[in-house]
Structure 1
Amino acid sequence: MTIKRLSLVVLFGYFLLSIPGSYAKETTDELRKAIPLTVQLNDDIQFSLIDKDHLKVVSLNMAHGRKDAFNQMLVSKETIEKNLDDIAAMLRKEKADVVALQEADAPSWWSGDFNHVEYLAKKAGYHFFIQAAHVDKFFGTYGTAIMSRLPIREAFAVSFHPTPPSTQKGFVTGKVGWDCRPEDKECLEIDIYSVHLDFLRHAKRNEQIRMLGLMLEKRQRKSVIMGDFNSEWLSSEKVIKFLTESGRYKLFEPHSEQYDTYDDKRLDWVIISRDLNFISYKVSKELLSDHQAVIAEIGF
């Protein structure tokens, strides 16, 4: 068998795995293992109600705090802190209400051995944050996270099936109360997602986006889904299109090439429920990571 044919066989195997019927039960079982997260509070940050009719969100792959360095192991703790300070300055300038983070480190040997999300939340003034470790290895503990000025009233983490040789990915979701006090029992609530999909194989991304889709179907809430999807709208795969084809979610100018976030590719997205509206959408030009931040204002 030639290398080319062997490659086709392997790709076909991955394609079979990506058919919903072939793994739907297994995926549903995995969703039942969604881990409830404890919402962390910054006691030194004062909570106050946000009185406005729109929500400003930011999504950023933090690249473990290395900015554009080759690897975080080659960057000092002091430099990583300075890099996070630059992210905090951008968030304060933009006055973002909710932030979705990927490649967000808990204390890790390779990135300064301190919690990047907790540090950033304090520096940027976020009272609430949640964090999940989809990877917990000797070199580092990291995953996805959400920071919010609004109360996070319920939170879960889902880690996707392992995808060696690439590291494990996943998502966190938090139920955010709009115009709510933490003690309020009822108020307007939406789900916020921070998602990171596999970068190596589109078949794995197809599996993962369908797993996310099952969570969205299960929760049936107005949602803002943000993150590094490692996939473009114009590519041959249908990872991004999968959510929009249901008719329940929409993108901002999906065909436009002016919103590239990683070199000349648009890999980072903000996706919203149909009954929400985009007021504005832009990509930050600041050098904060090997990815650029996506900044959107959303109306209800």
Structure 2
Amino acid sequence: MARLRIVTYNIAHGRGLRPIQGLQSRRSMQAHLRRLAALLRTLDADVVALQEIDEHSRWAGNFDQVAYLQEHAGYAHSLFGRTTRREGIFNLSYGNAFLSRHKLLEGEAVAFGRKQVGEKGFLFAEVMLAGRTVPLLNLHLNYRSRTARLDQVGQVFRYLEEKHNARAPFWSVPPLVCGDFNTSRHASDATTGLLNELKYFGAYTLLPAGGKTFPSPFPTRALDFVMVPAAVRVESAEVIRSWLSDHRPVRVELTLR
């Protein structure tokens, strides 16, 4: 058996609780990312799934946040998946990322649209853990439109179905899915929609069972989840009390049988 601890965290471009990014210097942004890195070290995850993280964006200090967090949080491996890109003087490049203590394979990023400003998407990778291959998908769904979210989770499932058909003999467990769903566990929306679709691979559990993640100072909604197949034993799942972003992070500890 092998332990796998996962954290999923929307870091809001590293702006903290400010309403918009672009109002901080690079130095201030990096200082905040070091605080985020200190939190990640405390959470001691094997894999961290990040949303709203910038590669090189003017509004976020024009530096590689993934590499910066990787260095300061002490992770051996990282993977970035761009969902938005804009060239020019107001350049943008951001999306989702993994930080991992273990080797990452088969990395692939998918944007739901044309990588225009504000576009969401997902990042897929296979985590090599104690001789096992664990498929993991990190997503960020649309925050405005239920119709868009349902379309997006349809894209996610079709992608996983294709990956399963091609890679299932190499996988130790069915795919794990985590991220910012921008809708609750109870709504007739994307979270329950994807959970139902994942039954194609077997039974799944939505984690955490309770707790709210947004907005972080006084959270009223649960938007951030990890979907875990029955082949994995759940040891714990919790929302972490933190005000370093507008979302609170979620941490789950699992055992691969």
Give the TM-score normalised by structure 1.
0.75
* 1:159 matched residue in structure 2: 111
Q: How far 1:253 moved relative to its partner?
A: 5.3
Gaps of 5+ in 2: 165-170
* Length, aligned pairs only: 238
Distance in 2 of aligned mates of 1:78 and 1:194: 28
* 2:39 matched residue in structure 1: 90
Q: How far 1:105 moved relative to its partner?
A: 0.1
Q: How far 1:80 moved relative to its partner?
A: 1.1
In structure 2, relative to structure 1, the CA distance for the partners of 1:253 and 1:143 (3 Å cut) is: closer
Distance in 2 of aligned mates of 1:100 and 1:252: 15
Contact 2:50 2:179 in 1 (8 A): yes
Q: How far 1:207 moved relative to its partner?
A: 0.5
Percent identity reads 31
Q: How far 1:65 moved relative to its partner?
A: 0.6
Equivalent of residue 178 in structure 1, options 105, 129, 132: 129
* 2:167 matched residue in structure 1: none
Q: Bigger CA drift: 279-288 or 216-225?
A: 216-225
User: Is 2:175 aligned against 1:223?
Assistant: yes
* 1:269 matched residue in structure 2: 225
Aligned letter for 1:224?
L
Contact 2:107 2:126 in 1 (8 A): yes
Equivalent of residue 298 in structure 1, options 240, 254, 257: 254
User: Is 2:156 aligned against 1:212?
Assistant: yes
Equivalent of residue 134 in structure 1, options 73, 83, 87: 83
Contact 2:5 2:254 in 1 (8 A): yes
In structure 2, relative to structure 1, the CA distance for the partners of 1:265 and 1:162 (3 Å cut) is: farther
User: Is 2:204 aligned against 1:252?
Assistant: no
Distance in 2 of aligned mates of 1:86 and 1:201: 33
Distance in 2 of aligned mates of 1:154 and 1:95: 24
RMSD across aligned positions (CA):
1.8
Equivalent of residue 80 in structure 1, options 24, 29, 35: 29
Distance in 2 of aligned mates of 1:252 and 1:175: 20
Contact 1:261 1:283 in 2 (8 A): no
Gaps of 5+ in 1: 1-51, 180-186
Higher alpha-carbon Rg: 1
Distance in 1 of aligned mates of 2:249 and 2:180: 10
Q: How far 1:162 moved relative to its partner?
A: 4.5
Q: How far 1:259 moved relative to its partner?
A: 3.3
Q: How far 1:278 moved relative to its partner?
A: 1.7
Q: How far 1:169 moved relative to its partner?
A: 0.8
SS in 1 for 2:226: strand
Equivalent of residue 114 in structure 1, options 63, 67, 80: 63
Distance in 2 of aligned mates of 1:225 and 1:236: 19
Q: Bigger CA drift: 191-200 or 130-139?
A: 130-139
SS in 2 for 1:168: coil
User: Is 2:101 aligned against 1:145?
Assistant: no
Contact 2:140 2:180 in 1 (8 A): yes
* 1:241 matched residue in structure 2: 192
Equivalent of residue 102 in structure 1, options 51, 54, 73: 51
Aligned letter for 2:234?
F
Contact 2:213 2:249 in 1 (8 A): no
SS in 2 for 1:92: helix
The CA deviation string for residues 204-259 of structure 1, in whole angstroms up to 9 with x for no partner, is 0001001101122122252221111101112232x1112322433221354x3x23
Aligned letter for 2:212?
Y
Contact 2:208 2:239 in 1 (8 A): no
Contact 2:239 2:251 in 1 (8 A): yes
